[in-house]
Structure 1
């Protein structure tokens, strides 16, 4: 039997699997990947499925170099419209939460059908492969089984052996790898082969989604994210799509189903026309139409045996009620990829991978609970958890819940709880990622471990051109250590001292014979605040970093990138600091970045 030896086998060629493959190749060209997809894309339905990236997802895509192509093709939406059964516009309902989003330049919904998203991701992977990265995308190829050789150490080659069916050659082959990632969707074969159970249920509710180009409509605001309240069809979804198309979604109740001999495209179109009443629609072309049963499930673990991972729909499935599917999967992909890359390149210990499950699964569980309520309301019923007026209008309740969960829906308040990366400062409690957190649109000020790092405006020296923190801290599987140096008139001496101490510290050392890297003895009371993959990660004074850094590999160094930010400007940084700065320097001319990060420019309260 033919064998393929690679670092990582990725099962599934949807957005999640492709995003993981792309990042692993981007972060380390020496990493080898083998991605298999059961169905060749030309044979799959060309449209439909997931369509929306919310704000936080676009920030993540931007930091790994994928956002530019998306915004060239997507339909951007900043407005919403909701209508009652009479066709009267009502406010504060439906998708109103997407309006007036703050604290991000990505203050809109980016709507692009999954077909086009996958084409962009595959194109970027092909660019990396042509540039010398090692890997292959193979389709049609079907995952059959896996075995883990526990006599081989975690992270060593050959620990995982998978059997794959090559549809073109009509034969099986084996893939020996260090890690295997199942991103093979809700009907995952990897989860079962890995022996990971899941919990959840499926309702009897059926939803229809239909995409196409409209020839005519009387919908007043057809290019806004829309909600049409119907007694029969629930809260009807209206999404303007890319390439001039529109998506309509509605609840297809049993009484309506009985009116048709079979549930086909013709039936879906007829019901779509009725669902948007009193408005009218006429399709010029239908690209995709589908019906599915609503349900929620989550895997009991997102990994097993230290080497097999699940991501995306393979480990959590839910309705499309809040448009979170592709976003949650992307968050999985980003969270796992940078950690796995550090481990693969010997810059971190395999124990770092434990945080993938401890960070991502709790968020998925909360999404599942949230979706249970949302999907019930979309269907036109009050959820079991509802304790208010039993006669309340489900559409009004839905609008309230979506608005209250604005930060969660947009991804901007999504947070991770304390672990080896998110370390609490002395006496400071990291907020739990509970229901209350769902209502926050921004992270706390000053920034809190586990939360998104705020994007702030800065100025490039000499050019005096504006830039943003997220732009100068791209996700390349590194921690960005930032010195907010404040106003040198007040802070020059301590900032200079801190800079020199950091240069002398073991943070810059790659020798495995020396003690574990520490941030100790820099200055009294200073914590090291790092941004990793767009989230705040805190390394406190005297915090041993040996749990992250793999010192068994003397040729590797800590994956750190340094920046220095002053609240003023000068002809050169040397004039301000009197010594070479840490990394690149930027100006914070109005001190807004210092303020956002909780740094007092006059009292020399630094964060690093």
Structure 2
């Protein structure tokens, strides 16, 4: 008796592709809707259907991405996932570059790995993609979501007669081969997200064009456990400058493995009738010369063409999104693939969750393309140069000395792009979610935005700094106080001047008068907090997902001593020396107010002493959230 065909599915979101990006988005949507972010308390959790064309064992046969850079780890930390990654990853804090003679040369290769600053994660977190996916999948099961494997996306249609965000506006045809005989079913959804990799079918079905091309370069990647090696620093992020293979990549992997990567030019490829694992092992041994390696086992090996493509738009018909390699594909030369995908996912996740739960205005979804497409285009241009240099050549449009060693140029470019590589200086231009006037007071700071540490201005990452807990005076990282549950955080840096204290008092009064921002008191205490409810005595009031954190410039016995009243939300003290105030560019006398978006980027900054402070906060949030 043959199995019954799968019934059609009706969900809020269909996600195509169960790699790290698709899994991340599914995790966020389910996790966020389990938290109290909905406009109505009894709203059901966001329903998600995630499909993957390949079974997990086949997926694991792909080597794929291995490195998370610091900003990605910050993102994952605020999603409560970083600890699991750190339990398994190799934390790489050092680099080593060697010339063709095997002599160590400094300041080349991956030297930017050393001296990473302005973050807790001062290292590269190396964990192979299959283990990352295991972590996501396990968390999704806890949230009631299971990946539908061997279910291939075929096509989609968007019904324009259904309002944007309406149920069944998007219909996706899926071919289910999980029972042997392929059977087609339809997913009816409000939104669809294509996370199906560089060979995406969603992009074509959605009618989204892309730009870019592939080169003739072929790169080999081989992962395995070494029985022995004469590589002097095998647990560093390594570069070997080979005359035959370009800049050879050496990465220490989890579970005792090592990745070796190199360009295999046409002359080398012509030596073999077939490119198989035996050939890759032989070539890998030659690529690391003058060092020797012997393999105990090979986990994965592959050769692929190098290319760069970016979609002209990351969404269409206000209903279909692209994320990860489906939106932008590039070489692995700078190790940005999985990281760029994480940035896509964290940017889209909170916006879509809050739209689906009726809290956020649909117009905010436009900022996903505005913010991520521009950064992806920058990555593509950067990667074009990196991939050529890794292959041992200077870029065609190189304006420097044409006789310069490509390995030296590569080291310089990687070092100059340190902020971009680590993700710590990735920012966004002004839009409805980024309130910044580049022509006024922010102008001088915007000019420094690509320098580590990037200034604490709207459109850029909220710095992670240490503050002290009340009473115990124990240090805690600020990011740990701003967990990503699709909620905004308003950081109030209290000033010491009379005007600033008056501004704080006025802000508190304004918050108490505004039902959508009102904070509740913790039962049995006088302490107020903005966590979870932002409740109002008015049952018709629209609740905004906003939490307050007050930071005092120095430690005191109780916040009342400094403020003369209860703080807004929870209170913390700056460490001795005023690191938090300094890093955020806040004068101790005047103070300041920052609105931090759920994804950890600053949305707006306001003067605490401003007479229009409450109106400015209300205007920013009111432009995004339904009243």
TM-score normalised per structure 2:
0.86
Give the match for residue 443 of structure 1: 454
Q: 1 CA distance for matches of 2:26 and 2:153?
A: 17
Cα contact 1:47–1:113 (8 A) shared by 2: no
Deviation track 1:182-231 (CA, whole Å, cap 9, x = no partner) reads: 00001111111101111101100100000000001000000000000011
Give the match for residue 485 of structure 1: 494
Shift of 1:476: 1.1
User: Do structure 1's residue 10 and structure 2's residue 15 form an aligned pair?
Assistant: yes
Give the match for residue 403 of structure 2: 391
Q: Which 5+ residue runs of structure 2 have no aligned equivalent?
A: 35-44, 520-538, 595-605, 607-627
Match of 1:592 among 579, 602, 605: 579
Q: 2 CA distance for matches of 1:277 and 1:264?
A: 21
Give the match for residue 20 of structure 1: 25
User: Do structure 1's residue 463 and structure 2's residue 472 form an aligned pair?
Assistant: yes
Shift of 1:166: 1.4
Secondary structure of the structure 2 residue equivalent to 1:216: strand
Q: 1 CA distance for matches of 2:257 and 2:126?
A: 11
Cα contact 1:564–1:585 (8 A) shared by 2: yes
Residues 1:59 and 1:486: Cα distance change in structure 2 (over 3 Å): same
Q: 2 CA distance for matches of 1:190 and 1:556?
A: 36
Q: 2 CA distance for matches of 1:96 and 1:599?
A: 32
Give the match for residue 247 of structure 1: 259
User: Do structure 1's residue 168 and structure 2's residue 178 form an aligned pair?
Assistant: yes
Cα contact 2:137–2:146 (8 A) shared by 1: no
Query: Which stretch has the larger CA shift, 50-59 or 477-486?
Result: 477-486
User: Do structure 1's residue 567 and structure 2's residue 557 form an aligned pair?
Assistant: no
Give the match for residue 120 of structure 2: 105
Q: 1 CA distance for matches of 2:491 and 2:47?
A: 32
Shift of 1:422: 0.9
Residues 1:383 and 1:315: Cα distance change in structure 2 (over 3 Å): same
Query: Which stretch has the larger CA shift, 5-14 or 419-428?
Result: 419-428
Shift of 1:384: 1.5
Match of 2:228 among 196, 199, 216: 216
Give the match for residue 288 of structure 2: 276
Q: 2 CA distance for matches of 1:393 and 1:67?
A: 38
Count the aligned residue pairs: 558
User: Do structure 1's residue 496 and structure 2's residue 505 form an aligned pair?
Assistant: yes
Give the match for residue 331 of structure 2: 319
Cα contact 2:219–2:261 (8 A) shared by 1: yes
Q: 2 CA distance for matches of 1:405 and 1:604?
A: 32
Q: 1 CA distance for matches of 2:347 and 2:574?
A: 29
Residues 1:44 and 1:600: Cα distance change in structure 2 (over 3 Å): closer
Give the match for residue 580 of structure 1: 566
Shift of 1:439: 4.9
Deviation track 1:274-302 (CA, whole Å, cap 9, x = no partner) reads: 01000000001000000001110011110
Q: 2 CA distance for matches of 1:387 and 1:231?
A: 23
Shift of 1:601: 1.5
Residues 1:565 and 1:394: Cα distance change in structure 2 (over 3 Å): same
Residues 1:432 and 1:346: Cα distance change in structure 2 (over 3 Å): farther
User: Do structure 1's residue 353 and structure 2's residue 353 form an aligned pair?
Assistant: no
Shift of 1:497: 2.7
TM-score normalised per structure 1:
0.89
Give the match for residue 164 of structure 2: 154
Secondary structure of the structure 1 residue equivalent to 2:494: strand
Query: Which stretch has the larger CA shift, 215-224 or 479-488?
Result: 479-488
Give the match for residue 550 of structure 1: none
Cα contact 1:302–1:310 (8 A) shared by 2: yes
Shift of 1:570: 3.1
After superposition, where does 1:73-112 map in structure 2 within 5 Å? 73-112=88-127
User: Do structure 1's residue 328 and structure 2's residue 340 form an aligned pair?
Assistant: yes
Cα contact 1:486–1:594 (8 A) shared by 2: no
Residues 1:560 and 1:603: Cα distance change in structure 2 (over 3 Å): closer
Q: Which 5+ residue runs of structure 1 have no aligned equivalent?
A: 130-134, 511-552
Q: 1 CA distance for matches of 2:178 and 2:445?
A: 47
Backbone CA RMSD of aligned residues: 2.1
Cα contact 1:412–1:443 (8 A) shared by 2: yes
Give the match for residue 308 of structure 2: 296
Residues 1:606 and 1:295: Cα distance change in structure 2 (over 3 Å): closer
Shift of 1:28: 0.6
Deviation track 1:455-503 (CA, whole Å, cap 9, x = no partner) reads: 1110010121110111101111111001101347884443223222222
Secondary structure of the structure 1 residue equivalent to 2:143: helix
Cα contact 2:31–2:143 (8 A) shared by 1: yes
Residues 1:437 and 1:176: Cα distance change in structure 2 (over 3 Å): farther
Secondary structure of the structure 2 residue equivalent to 1:89: coil
Secondary structure of the structure 1 residue equivalent to 2:136: helix
Match of 1:117 among 132, 145, 159: 132
Q: 1 CA distance for matches of 2:161 and 2:361?
A: 19
Cα contact 2:307–2:329 (8 A) shared by 1: yes
